[in-house]
């Protein structure tokens, strides 16, 4: 097991193994050992106190202790070193004691060997020394690897993540306790040597993820290759992230499983907040756009009553002395009607919910539709005296329940457009009004310049003007406004036209459409 991991970072290992020599007062032993180690990556140390030796011995490949006699206090050093966990070096006594019994007593004090200075220079000792040094270095290296492995397991045990380590053959080498707690019913197969496929099958069963589950194939791909990263959510709502990392020197793969539920919840909350901010911003932008459009609409619609007022006022001014009283009364009545219409529109602007919320609200009321059409056609006759404006009204009942202000805007735009795009001398505008049990039908037909067929689909677009309107005053707002207000009434507007033959606009509005809360808002 210790041979499996050889981390590129040595956690405790010093630069090179140490040969520790204690009690060498004249350094004669030290000099002799120096002569024996050429070619070895080792250092020699002479600790001054037993305590320094005990601390250093953990990294020693060999330890030499000079013992003067069988009663020397250094006899206790071997026993002490033997009790220190992790010390792997041979502890060798060097003594001048010639008595065999006393030498045995020294050896019995837990020394691994005992030698006399006189034999250190012999060839036999040189061979024994090299053999013991090599074995000491090997044992030290193995112990250091074991330390690293133990530290590695310690790191895994304190980590919040769950770990499972696979060897080069993709078989289990190690499973952390966290993993066992994460998948308690798979504990029996989480043993060393279990192939990765059995691990995947067991985990899938424990999670309740079958082959028809969308998560199954993605998980199978991850476990089969042991590469990359894979995220999935348990039925309990727990989010897990699995990450496979290849170990150094291709020794295997470590798979970590991290609980990222908190992170995912925070990510979801941030995403939701972002979406809410985006929706709020979009709503704010839409409200601003609608307000601009509404202001454009109002400014456009003010032109007609102001033109009526101005035209009649000029006529009265020119003919004030010769105009019959009846005609004067009629003109003044027209002016007052136009002023009233302007005031109504001003009130609509000031009270409109659009200026606050960006929404158009319908204010339905009962009114005489036939009378409204007649008045609006008369207004256009007064403005365009050369045009022939004909009306044909056939209604079972003239009273309708709609938004009178918006219907007035719709009809005024259709009539003024018909007048504007027909010849002032031969212009004929026909207005036909009829109704069925379900809807009101208004047709406005003219014999003007018409609309090119390839442009008909665009004329209800905001600010769009047909190519035939060149040289004719206009802003391209009127027809787009007609379409918007018609849709508010759940109606529809259509047009048929041929170039040079005029245009026919047909307005269909349900007479009794259901208006749910907020349905009239755009």
For residue range 432-442, what is the model confidence (pLDDT) as tens digits?
999 888 889 99
Number of helices (H), then strands (E), belonging to the chain: the values are 14, 17
Sheet with 172-175, edge to edge strand ranges? 172-175, 162-167, 252-259, 239-246, 228-233
Q: Tell which CATH architecture fits domain 360-522.
A: 2-Layer Sandwich (3.30)
**pLDDT(114) > 90:** yes
The rounded distance, in Å, linking the Cα atoms of 405 and 354 is 15
pLDDT tens track for 231-262: 878 777 888 888 999 888 888 898 888 888 88
Q: Would you tell me which CATH number, out of the four given (3.90.1150.10, 2.40.50.140, 1.20.1050.10, 1.10.287.130), belongs to the domain 270-351?
A: 1.10.287.130
Tokens read off for 164: 């499972």
Q: Are 107 and 65 in contact (CB under 8 A)?
A: no
Residue 510's contacts (CB-CB under 8 Å, 6 or more residues apart) are: 438, 439, 440, 489, 490, 491
Q: Choose the weakest-confidence range: 39-48, 235-244, 341-350, 504-513.
A: 341-350
Helix axes 325-351, 369-383, angle to 10 degrees: 110
Ranges of CATH 1.10.287.130 domains, the chain: 270-351
SS3 sequence, 210-245? CCCCHHHHHHHHHHHHCCEEEEEECCCCCEEEEEEE
Identify the residue with better confidence: 511 or 132.
Answer: 132
Distances 362 to 163, 285, 367, 520 between C-alpha atoms, Å: 66, 22, 15, 6
**Quick one: average pLDDT of 280-299?**
72
pLDDT tens track for 130-154: 999 999 999 988 888 888 777 777 7
Predicted pLDDT of residue 190 = 87
Q: What is the DSSP letter of 472?
A: S
The rounded distance, in Å, linking the Cα atoms of 492 and 490 is 7
Give the DSSP letter string of 376-426.
Answer: HHHHHHHH-TTSEEEEEEE-S-SEEEE-HHHHHHHHHHHHHHHHHTS-TTT
The rounded distance, in Å, linking the Cα atoms of 412 and 350 is 21
Ranges of CATH 3.30.450.20 domains, the chain: 159-259
Q: Choose the weakest-confidence range: 291-295, 388-392, 465-469.
A: 291-295
The rounded distance, in Å, linking the Cα atoms of 386 and 365 is 35
Q: In CATH, what class is 159-259? A: alpha beta
- Band of residue 371 on the pLDDT scale cut at 50, 70, 90: very high
Report pTM.
0.40
The rounded distance, in Å, linking the Cα atoms of 25 and 46 is 10
The rounded distance, in Å, linking the Cα atoms of 97 and 99 is 6
Topology annotation, domain 18-156: Rossmann fold (3.40.50)
Average pLDDT, the chain: 82
CB count, 10 Å around CB of 106? 23
């Amino acid at each position: 097991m210790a041979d499996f991991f050889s981390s590129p970072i040595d956690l405790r290992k010093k630069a090179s193994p140490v040969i520790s020599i204690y009690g060498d007062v004249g350094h004669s032993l030290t000099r002799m050992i120096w002569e024996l180690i050429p070619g070895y990556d080792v250092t020699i140390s002479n600790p001054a106190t037993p305590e320094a030796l005990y601390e250093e011995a953990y990294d020693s490949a060999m330890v030499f202790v000079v013992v003067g006699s069988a009663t020397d206090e250094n006899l206790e050093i071997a026993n002490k070193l033997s009790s220190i966990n992790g010390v792997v070096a041979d502890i060798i006594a060097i003594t001048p004691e010639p008595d065999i019994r006393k030498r045995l007593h020294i050896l019995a004090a837990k020394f691994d060997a005992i030698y006399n200075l006189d034999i250190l220079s012999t060839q036999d000792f040189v061979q024994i020394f090299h053999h013991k040094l090599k074995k000491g270095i090997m044992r030290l290296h193995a112990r250091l690897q074991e330390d690293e492995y133990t530290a590695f397991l310690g790191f895994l045990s304190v980590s919040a993540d769950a770990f499972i380590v696979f060897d080069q053959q993709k078989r289990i080498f190690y499973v952390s306790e966290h993993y066992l707690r994460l998948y308690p019913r798979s504990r029996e197969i989480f043993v060393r040597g279990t192939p990765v496929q059995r691990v995947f099958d067991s985990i899938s069963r424990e999670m309740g993820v079958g082959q028809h589950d969308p998560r199954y194939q993605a998980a199978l791909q991850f476990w089969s290759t042991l590469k990359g990263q894979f995220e999935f959510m348990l039925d309990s709502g727990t989010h897990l992230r699995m990450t496979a990392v290849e170990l150094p020197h291709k020794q295997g793969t470590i798979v970590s499983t991290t609980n990222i539920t908190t992170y995912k919840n925070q990510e979801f909350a941030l995403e939701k907040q972002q979406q809410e901010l985006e929706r709020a911003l979009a709503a704010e932008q839409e409200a601003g756009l609608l307000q601009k459009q509404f202001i454009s609409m109002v400014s456009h619609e003010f032109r007609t009553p102001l033109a009526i007022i101005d035209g009649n006022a000029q006529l009265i001014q020119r003919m004030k002395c010769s105009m019959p009283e009846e005609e004067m009364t009629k003109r003044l009545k027209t002016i007052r009607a136009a002023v009233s219409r302007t005031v109504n529109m001003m009130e609509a602007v000031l009270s409109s919910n659009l200026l606050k919320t960006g929404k158009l609200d319908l204010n339905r009321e009962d009114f005489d539709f036939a009378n409204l059409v007649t008045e609006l056609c008369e207004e256009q006759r007064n403005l365009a005296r050369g045009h022939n404006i004909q009306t044909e009204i056939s209604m079972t009942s003239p009273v309708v329940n709609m938004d009178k202000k918006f219907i007035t805007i719709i009809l005024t735009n259709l009539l003024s457009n018909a007048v504007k795009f027909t010849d002032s001398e031969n212009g004929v505008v026909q207005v036909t009004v009829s109704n069925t049990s379900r809807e009101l039908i208004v047709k406005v037909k003219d014999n003007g310049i018409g609309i090119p067929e390839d442009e008909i689909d665009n004329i209800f677009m905001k600010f769009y003007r047909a190519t035939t309107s060149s040289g004719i005053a206009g802003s391209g707002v009127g027809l787009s406004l007609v379409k918007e207000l018609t849709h508010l009434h759940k109606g529809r507007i259509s047009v048929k036209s041929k170039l040079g033959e005029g245009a026919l606009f047909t307005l269909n509005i349900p007479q009794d459409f259901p208006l749910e809360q907020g349905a009239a808002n755009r």
